[in-house]
Amino acid sequence: MVGLTAALASQNAHKAQELERLLPGWTIEPLGSDAYPPEEGATYYENARGKARFGLTVAPLGLWVIGEDSGIEVAALGGRPGIQSARFGGDDPVARLLAELGETEDRRARYVSELVALAPDGREFHGTGILEGRIAESPAGSEGFGYDPIFIPKDEQRTVAELGNAWKAENSHRARAAQALLEAVRGY
């Protein structure tokens, strides 16, 4: 298990950096391609698996390939944007989310991450992670990415962007998915 190199089938460099911190002993190389197929799955798992399978077709032979799909689900919006999170709100998804929520009192939300790893022999492993929380009234903090300036995890008073990358490495939905993935891969 130690010393694995995996290609991450994602255009998102933040995710590769986060994952490398989360999977001790693994080297994670972002797999650049301008030909990623559209995310058409109905679930995070289907999208993550689709990315990993596409990655296998372009990654150097013999590497593991990891696909990840994640999103934020807001209770008062019926779980939206969910699997559409990356395509929500154009240039300013944070502003759109705050605008849609307005003065709504129910601010409950959660982050979800699904990781699918394909071994060089094609065996598949996966892990799911969830981080419960709520949407802040206004953005705060500068670390992380995406919705982090407006996401306050359960039992915390500050946003993920204020809590920072070290906090994320221990507690995020992706950290939890990585833990579950490591459990699944253990003994391979």
- The rounded distance, in Å, linking the Cα atoms of 83 and 33 is 21
Tell me which of 23, 69, 94, 182 binds ligand IMP, using CB under 6 A: 69
Q: Which is nearer to ligand IMP, 12 or 17 (CB)?
A: 12
Is residue 140 part of the contact set for ligand IMP (CB under 6 A)? no
The closest alpha carbon to 46, from 35, 58, 38, belongs to 38
Is residue 85 part of the contact set for ligand IMP (CB under 6 A)? yes
The closest alpha carbon to 55, from 33, 84, 77, 72, belongs to 33
Q: Which is nearer to ligand IMP, 34 or 62 (CB)?
A: 34
Q: How many other C-beta atoms are found inside a 10 Å radius of the C-beta of residue 66?
A: 31
Tell me which of 30, 50, 55, 71 binds ligand IMP, using CB under 6 A: 71
Is residue 12 part of the contact set for ligand IMP (CB under 6 A)? yes
Give least dist CB 47 to ligand IMP, A. 7
- The angle formed by the CA atoms of residues 157, 163 and 164, to the nearest 5 degrees, is 165
Is 69 annotated as catalytic?
yes
Tell me which of 6, 55, 65, 70 binds ligand IMP, using CB under 6 A: 70
Contacts of 39 by beta carbon, 8 Å cutoff, 6+ apart: 47, 50, 51, 69, 83, 86
Tell me which of 7, 147, 159, 181 binds ligand IMP, using CB under 6 A: 147
- The token duo for 16 is 């590769």
Distance of CA 55 to CAs 128, 141, 176, Å?
A: 20, 33, 23
Is residue 128 part of the contact set for ligand IMP (CB under 6 A)? no
CB 72 within 8 A of CB 110: yes
Q: Which is nearer to ligand IMP, 67 or 118 (CB)?
A: 67
Tell me which of 148, 176, 177, 181 binds ligand IMP, using CB under 6 A: 148
DSSP letter at 61 equals T
Give least dist CB 2 to ligand IMP, A. 26
Judged by the rule CB under 6 A, the positions of this chain that interact with ligand IMP are 12, 39, 69-72, 85-86, 93, 111, 144-148, 172
Catalytic residue positions, numbered:
69
